[in-house]
Amino acid sequence: MPEHVTRPTKLELSILRALWQSGGGTVREIHAIVNGVKPTGPTTVLKMLQIMAEKGLVVRDGSVRPQVYRARHPQEHTQKHLLADLLHRAFGGSVKALVMQALSTEKPSRKDMETIEKLLDKYEGESK
């Protein structure tokens, strides 16, 4: 991950997932989603959203009451940065090692395998 990109904590990621799922919302709305996955207090969600706004992970619309929070970046953007960070820190930049570990950790579904095969075919076609 580039140094200027903040790596979210586990709780921050759960809040980001709630924001991506809902498209944004008030503290109460985000709390309802997060609390449904893991019991979390509303003040904890509020404080985390304030911290995440300071870190640049979320944006806050203070022009409305109650304030509305949204993820600063789309889910795919954040996942790409997190994966790049993991790839370099844990696998020394080896895509092969990362993919082999991922495939050995949990058996992919047939549909997932078909999608992976199509992606590999695409890359193979581009390299010719």
Residue 52 tokens read as 């995440």
- Count, residues in the chain: 128
pTM: 0.82
Q: How far apart are CA 3 and CA 1, in angstroms?
A: 6
Q: What is the pLDDT of residues 57-92, one digit of tens each?
A: 999 998 989 999 999 999 999 999 999 999 999 999
Listed by start position, the domains of the chain span 10-71, 94-127
Average pLDDT for the chain: 92
Class of domain 10-71: mainly alpha
- Looking at residue 64, its pLDDT comes to 87
Q: Of 83, 84, 75, whose CA–CA distance to 15 is shortest?
A: 75
pLDDT reported for residue 1: 41
Contact predicate 49/70, CB 8 Å: no
The pLDDT assigned to 6 comes to 79
Cβ atoms within 10 Å, residue 16: 20
